[in-house]
Amino acid sequence: MTTPSKRRSVAQEAAVTGTGLHTGAETRATFRPGPSGTGVVFRRTDLEGAPHVPARLSEVEALERRTAIGHGSVTIHTVEHLLAAVAAHEIDDLLVDLSGPEPPILDGSVAPYFAALTEAKPVEIEGEPTLLTVQAPFTVTEGDASYLVAPSKRLQLTVTIEFPHPLIGRQVGSYEISPESFARELAPARTFGFTSEVAALQAKGLIKGASTASAIVLDERGVVNGGRLRWPDEFVRHKAADILGDLALTGGRVRAHIVATKPSHSGNVALARALARAAKRSGVPAMDIGRIMDVLPHRYPFLLVDRILEVEGEKRIVGIKNVTINEPFFQGHFPGHPIMPGVLIIEAMAQVGGMLLLSHFEAQNVEDKVVYFMSLDNVKFRRPVLPGDQIRFELEMIAFRGKTCKMKGQGFVDGQVVAEAEMMAVVVDK
Ligand SMILES: [Zn+2]
């Protein structure tokens, strides 16, 4: 895996059909070429309007025994094996049509997805891929799972698992991920479960589609139904493949050495969030709306940042907000005479500042943190902001102590200052 210069999609369609592990629903998953820059996007073709769910951290909904994305009736369960195949092929842009709520479990491994994508003929397309690289080591912990992330030019996964079962015990595996090595060493490794857990999982409405054909099922002594392992350490290999699938939710190709101990889906997603925030991204000038939503808790109508243009370490950040006539506040502020409320200009400035402040906490889980603004000083409104304006916010860190900081910000429209303020903020645990 040398430094790639082109994004990748597929040249043609390919599909797999089968039963979902948790929902038990019969679903067909069809891979289709995606235009450059779209990322990996699921479409629920069984629902009215075929709603889209991007494979991004902002969409993560549930993490028990699987990774589910979307929301409410548009939830898509168990995306990790499909996404592991996408990541292993280094595919950046792809449409995945689903005729039901869950990609099929198939034999419980990533291999059928990897084969379907090979059949769809991965090809280079226009545009530069997004690479996530880290400059310095950091750790992430979530429940029993812990991860050390270290700089590396390639993606390497070193995984340790421990299960008190005679066939598993402690297993350690280290894998340098390339399409070829993944196909050989990880793709065929199947998911596994224990007969002792079946009743509890069924009671939660999970594993409705489970069978000994779609997983390694273990009782106290060994594999039930006379099943055979593909490798003695098939278990740790599968967990490594799961990590790759969950990392695809960063929206980029990760280049780092990840040392994972007792990984879980919630741990993998915490790891992905830490990478999304801390890693340097190439191939994109800044953060798009997907990454902003990975970091900030704000949502419509209160998400007031459209794009981060520049981040200079932890010192300076530049973000923009496009102000359109469709903003909900224009309806009443004022009828027939729309002007953006000054306090919302400052709120937008503060949200850009929050992105800068949260970048200090790169090793921790950003979803557990929230930025509170404590004081505003020297607030000045210089010019009105009208529909059609693009506000460019530039913020500088003046002081940073513990969890508290002071930032100075200015908002510009067409190069003219519209507002300025100094703000004190603190990062607190939710
Ligand atoms: Zn899995």
333 is catalytic: yes
Ligand 1 centre distance from Cα of residue 18 (Å): 16
pLDDT at 254: 95
Q: Residue 187 in 3-state DSSP? A: coil
Q: Which residue(s) pair with 90 in the sheet?
A: none
Ligand 1 centre distance from Cα of residue 299 (Å): 31
Let me know: does 67 contact 246? Beta carbons within 8 Å: yes
238 is catalytic: no
Cα separation, 71 vs 84, in Å, equals 22
pLDDT at 287: 64
Ligand 1 centre distance from Cα of residue 239 (Å): 6
Residue 188: CA count within 13 A, CB half-sphere: 10
The third-level CATH classification (topology) of the domain covering 7-282 is lpxc deacetylase, domain 1 (3.30.1700)
Give the pLDDT band of residue 401 (cuts 50, 70, 90).
confident
Q: Is the model's pLDDT at 125 over the cut of 60? A: yes
Cα separation, 239 vs 145, in Å, equals 12
- pLDDT tens-digit map of 86-102: 999 999 999 999 999 99
pLDDT at 127: 83
Catalytic residue among 22, 81, 257, 265: 265
pLDDT at 242: 97
Residue range 398-402: mean pLDDT, rounded: 85
Cα separation, 128 vs 33, in Å, equals 17
pLDDT at 291: 67
Residue 91: CA count within 13 A, CB half-sphere: 32
pLDDT at 16: 97
Domains 7-282 and 289-429 share a fold: no
Strands across the sheet with 316-322, in order? Answer: 307-312, 316-322, 390-401, 404-413, 416-429, 369-381
- pLDDT tens-digit map of 7-58: 999 999 999 999 999 889 999 999 999 988 889 999 999 999 899 899 998 8
Sequence spans of domains, the chain:
7-282, 289-429
Q: Is the model's pLDDT at 80 over the cut of 50? A: yes
Cβ–Cβ contacts within 10 Å for residue 424, how many?
A: 16
Ligand 1 centre distance from Cα of residue 152 (Å): 25
List phi, psi (to 5°) of 124: -80, 140
Cα separation, 353 vs 333, in Å, equals 25
Catalytic residue among 165, 298, 333, 360: 333
- pLDDT tens-digit map of 136-185: 899 999 999 999 999 999 999 999 999 999 999 999 999 999 999 999 99
Ligand 1 centre distance from Cα of residue 11 (Å): 27
- Both tokens assigned to 376: 């505003």
Alpha helices in 279-408 (DSSP H): 289-295, 342-358
Superfamily designation of domain 289-429: Hotdog Thioesterase (3.10.129.10)
Ligand 1 centre distance from Cα of residue 377 (Å): 51
Q: Is the model's pLDDT at 425 over the cut of 50? A: yes
